[in-house]
Structure 1
Amino acid sequence: MGFKVHSLEAADNKIKTKEKKKKKFSFCFSFSSFDFGCSASQRIKNEYRHILRDRDPPTHCSGGPVNYSDDLFRWNGVIMGPSNCPFEGGIFFLSIVLPKDYPFKPPVIRFITKVFHPNIDKSGKIQLDILRKKRMWTPALTIIKTLLSICSILTDPDTRDHDSNPISAMYRTNREQYDKIAREWTTMYAME
C-alpha cells in the first residue's frame, strides 16, 4: 500500500480516503465478494477493526496484532476454555502468523499454552482441517471464525484420522482418564 501505519486511527483515515476514491465495496471490506486487488494488509486491518468495534464479540476467543504499527502479520490469540469440558476456566494463548497472501491461504496457528488434546501436538500445532488442508480453507473465513473453530474442537475433538495418536485413542477408549489428564494440564498450564 505504500504507507506506514502508526495507529488504528491513521489506518482508518487512509482506508476511508481510499474507499471514497473507489466508491465500491470489495472483499477486504465486506467479506462478501472477491476483489483480487485487495491486499493482505488491507484485509488484516479490516478484520482487526471489526474485532475492536464488534458490539457482540465472541465470548471465548479474541486476537490482535502483536505490534500493530510494525507487523500486521503476527498476531496473538486467546481462547477461554469452554464450559462443561476439561478446559473450563483455562486461558489459552496462541501464536497466529498470517501469510503474505492471506486470506487466500490459511494462517499458521499454534497453541503457546500446553494443551492435552487429540488435535493439538506437543509443539502446539493444531490438527484442524481448515488449517492443514488447503482445499478446506476459504477466503470467507476470518481469524475470529478460525479461532471459533479451534474452540469447537476443544469440546468436540476429531478422533477419526488419528489412530496412531495415543491421546486420541485415550479419548475414544478411556474418556474418564482423558478428562482427568486434560483437566490437570489445564490447571497446571492455563490457570494462574
Structure 2
Amino acid sequence: MTHWNGTIIGPGQTVHENRIYSLRIDCGETYPDDPPTVRFISRVNLPFVNQSNGVVERSKLNVLVNWTRSESIETLLVSIRREMASFNNRKLPQPPEGSTF
C-alpha cells in the first residue's frame, strides 16, 4: 500500500475545532527510510502547507525534517495536529470550511 487517505480532526480550543481535514499521503519506494509526501485536500492555512496546492513542505515540518525509519503515518498525522494547536498556529485565519485545494 503506497497511497493513503488521512483525516485529522481539528484540535479543540483552536480555529480548527470541529473541522475535519482530509489529506492524501503517498509513500514512495524508499518509505519508511524516507518520509511520505503529504497533501491536504481540505484547504488550510498553516505555515508548512503550500497555499497553491496543499502540499506539506518537508523543510518546514519537524517530523519530516527529522524523519527516521521508526516514524509512521500515525506519528506524522499526530505531529501535524499538534502543530495546528501550537501557539503560533492556533488562531491563524482559516479558509471557509469545506473548501478544497
Q: TM-score range by the shorter chain?
A: 0.7 to 0.9
Q: What corresponds to 1:148 in structure 2? A: 78
Q: What corresponds to 2:63 in structure 1? A: 130
Shift of 1:187: 2.7
Shift of 1:75: 0.5
1:77 aligns with 2:10: no
TM-score normalised by L of structure 2: 0.82
8 Å contact 2:9–2:18 — kept in the other structure?
A: yes
Question: How many residues were matched structurally?
Answer: 96
For structure 2, the residue ranges without an aligned partner over 5 or more in a row are none
* Secondary structure, aligned partner of 1:94: strand
Q: What corresponds to 1:189 in structure 2? A: 99
Deviations 1:97-149 (A, max 9, x none): 00112111101111111002222221112231232x3xx11111111011100
Letter in 2 for 1:128: L
* Secondary structure, aligned partner of 2:46: coil
Q: How does 1:1-192 map to 2 (within 5 A)?
A: 72-122=1-51, 123-126=53-56, 127-131=60-64, 133=65, 136-156=66-86, 179=92, 181-182=93-94, 185-189=95-99
Task: Please give the alpha-carbon distance, in whole angstroms, between the structure 1 residues aligned to 2:15 and 2:62.
Answer: 23
Task: Please give the alpha-carbon distance, in whole angstroms, between the structure 1 residues aligned to 2:3 and 2:40.
Answer: 14
Larger Rg: 1
- Give the % identical residues: 30
8 Å contact 1:86–1:186 — kept in the other structure?
A: no
* Secondary structure, aligned partner of 1:85: coil
For structure 1, the residue ranges without an aligned partner over 5 or more in a row are 1-71, 160-170
Task: Please give the alpha-carbon distance, in whole angstroms, between the structure 1 residues aligned to 2:99 and 2:20.
Answer: 9
Deviation >4 Å, runs of 4+:
none
- Relative to structure 1, the CA distance from residue 101 to residue 141 in structure 2 (aligned partners, 3 Å threshold; closer, same or farther) is same
Choose between structure 1 and 2 for higher RCO, CA contacts under 8 A separated by at least 6 residues: 2
